[in-house]
Amino acid sequence: MRGERSNYPRPVMSETVLLPEPKFLPELHPTYRPAILANRAFEQAARETGLAADVGIALEQADGSVFHHRTVIFPADHGLAGNNFRHVERIVKCLLWQRGGWKIHLSGADDLVPRLQEYYRTNTFGQFDNTVIGVKNNGHPIEVTTCAELPAEHSEARLIGRNLNGCRIGFDLGGSDRKAAAVIDGEVKFSEEIAWDPYFEPDPNYHYEGIMDSLRRAAEHLPRVDAIGGSAAGCYSHNKVTWASLFRGVGPEDFDAHVRDIFTRIAAEWNVPLDVLNDGEVTALAGSMALGKNGVLGIAMGTSEGGGYIDMDGNITTWLSELAFAPVDLHPEAPADEWSGDLGCGAQYFSQQAVGRLLPASGIEYDASLKLPEQLEIVQALMEQGDERALKIYDAIGIYLGYSLAHYAEFYDYEYVLLLGRVTTGPGGEHIIERSREVMAAEFPDLAKRIKFHIPDETEKRHGQAIAAASLPRLG
């Protein structure tokens, strides 16, 4: 899909107006145009006409939850109205992957409804959103409707995790390694990380045996197993896999037959309570537990970007927080996501993929056939030595993070940011945080005053996710 850029809704205004250059521009990525600045510039230009149309967006989930978002667009007869579709579609894209849902209600933009509906039926990028978010996660194709007034907001959140009693196993399934830990009353007695390569593996038994192997190895260090909790990349509902990058290589028939119920089958075989959540949600829970605070946005920079959120009341929401697919860069030639093909999405900015993408421009000599984890190791080793070329890579990611945290603040109410994942390890991770703070202080001072970073130490990085995962099931 990398070559299908003609499917992207192009802007018709001057790039400097629609896509203002940020004050902080990554040396290795001079075309970077942050979504937060582009959206604000668009809305300001629309309002300055004195005729801006107020647009309401309501996203409805299969369980009836409804979420609102508002913006403005140019009036339909204005010369700049050709930009309206791209503006609304990119915002809806963020909402689809951040909140999840299948029915989009639009007020104040009747002329965009049929075009947006067509986008999800015929556009390559829209079809991906329709298939994954609509059909696989909500059981319905995406539907776009017009309304005079948005349906009332409604959502549910649930308190989950923080259960530390008993002998538990916590596991975490990533794209390059799987981890498991033995935990007794909240204390890690054993943890292990094993490399694996699940993304393009077509045999579901590979995944099953890998997970079972990690569980057995952890169980050897417990007198008994009372509960199992896990985090994994992807989307999960009541311990069933609705869609997950870990199983992308498995064909549809094998997915339905062997993957969808893989965790309920594992729970039955171990005969203990088992809960599994998206890895980003467990990241956020780990941060909340470590801090003793709520309102935590978790971002895991690993094989891809994992997102998770604990609300201001300490609950896990029904939101997807699949930020890997949410756009953060609105330049029409932004890098393409390696899976969906869409442009400027988070996975290319906050993951090993980002490091691999920036590496050629850095001037670092390396074997391009190396896998992303090995490429990251090269960059980390050079950063340890104070190499300026490696610093430029982390500097770019830090700039991305500063602007994207402001963008995420348009969709989340949070006060703490927890960063985890291999990309954040060592001095490179420290620079990412320092640079993002600098960006926010200069560009978004109010946000900079409110947001606090939680910088986990190496012990917490290693064990925090396992403890939080292990704490998911409730005993009794």
- For the chain, give the mean pLDDT: 92
Give the least confident one: 220-224, 301-305, 384-388: 301-305
* Backbone region of residue 292 per phi and psi (left: phi > 0; alpha: psi in -120 to 50; beta: other values): left
Q: pLDDT of 60-104, one tens digit each?
A: 998 889 999 999 999 988 888 899 999 999 999 999 999 999 999
Bridge-based pairing of strands 296-301 and 305-310 is antiparallel
Query: What's the mean pLDDT in 35-48?
Result: 96
pLDDT at 77: 87
Instruction: Return the residue matching tokens 């001057």.
Output: 14
Query: What's the mean pLDDT in 54-59?
Result: 98
CA distance 185 to 164: 5
Answer whether 59's CB lies under 8 Å from 99's CB: yes
* Most confident option among 173-187, 294-308, 387-401, 415-429: 387-401
* Backbone region of residue 426 per phi and psi (left: phi > 0; alpha: psi in -120 to 50; beta: other values): left
Question: CB atoms < 10 A from the CB of 223, how many?
Answer: 9
Query: What's the mean pLDDT in 283-305?
Result: 89
CA distance 117 to 197: 37
Full-model pTM: 0.86
Answer whether 185's CB lies under 8 Å from 243's CB: no
pLDDT at 275: 95
Higher pLDDT, 2 or 116: 116
* Most confident option among 5-9, 12-16, 80-84, 344-348: 344-348
pLDDT above 90 (res 434): yes
pLDDT at 280: 80
pLDDT at 17: 59
Q: Which residues have CB under 8 Å from 377's CB, separation 6+?
A: none
CA distance 179 to 231: 10
pLDDT above 90 (res 155): no
Query: What's the mean pLDDT in 423-444?
Result: 96
* Most confident option among 192-196, 248-252, 295-299, 401-405: 401-405
Q: Quickly state the pLDDT bin for 5 (edges 50, 70, 90).
A: very low
- Hey, what domains does the chain have and what are their CATH numbers? 52-155 (no CATH), 158-277 (3.30.420.40), 282-467 (3.30.420.40)
The rounded Cα 171 to chain-centroid distance in angstroms is: 19
pLDDT above 60 (res 22): yes
Q: Which residues have CB under 8 Å from 461's CB, separation 6+?
A: 420, 424, 425
pLDDT above 80 (res 219): yes
Higher pLDDT, 300 or 9: 300
Q: Quickly state the pLDDT bin for 16 (edges 50, 70, 90).
A: low
Query: What's the mean pLDDT in 221-248?
Result: 91
Query: What's the mean pLDDT in 395-421?
Result: 95
Query: What's the mean pLDDT in 188-217?
Result: 95
Higher pLDDT, 317 or 269: 269
Q: Report the percentage of the chain scoring pLDDT > 90.
A: 75
Query: What's the mean pLDDT in 44-51?
Result: 95
Q: pLDDT of 454-472, one tens digit each?
A: 877 766 766 777 889 999 9
